């Protein structure tokens, strides 16, 4: 549920850029894309380009018509937030 979702700054997102632990952010939402990688019609390599970072721009450039929210609903891990300042 929504209560289990995390607030994820870019520094945390960056820690998940491996083939076996890949997260990416799209429109402010962070998804665990690991399980989806082998199923991406555009290929694993293309999708791995956005692992560990914000993929909003690349996604919009390639297929703005794809409903990512719907497709990856069960892979949602949290929301992208700005880096906490200290």
Q: Which residues of the shown chain bind ligand HEM in the complex (CB under 6 A)?
A: 33, 36, 40-42, 46-47, 49-50, 55, 58-59, 62-63, 66, 68, 71-72
Tell the smallest beta-carbon distance from residue 84 to ligand HEM (Å). 26
The DSSP letter of residue 54 is B
Nearer to ligand HEM, 53 or 85 (CB): 53
Q: How many whole angstroms separate alpha carbon 33 and alpha carbon 20?
A: 9
Nearer to ligand HEM, 2 or 64 (CB): 64
Let me know: does 59 contact 26? Beta carbons within 8 Å: yes
Tracing tokens 């665990």 back to the chain, one arrives at 32
């Amino acid at each position: 549920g929504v209560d289990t979702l995390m607030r994820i700054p870019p520094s945390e997102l960056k820690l998940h850029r491996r083939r076996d632990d890949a997260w990416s952010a799209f429109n402010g939402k962070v998804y665990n894309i690991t399980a989806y990688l082998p199923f991406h019609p555009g290929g694993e390599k293309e999708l791995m380009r956005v692992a560990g970072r914000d993929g909003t721009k690349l996604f919009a450039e390639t297929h703005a018509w794809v409903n990512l929210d719907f497709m990856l609903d069960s892979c949602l891990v949290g929301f992208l937030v700005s880096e906490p300042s200290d």
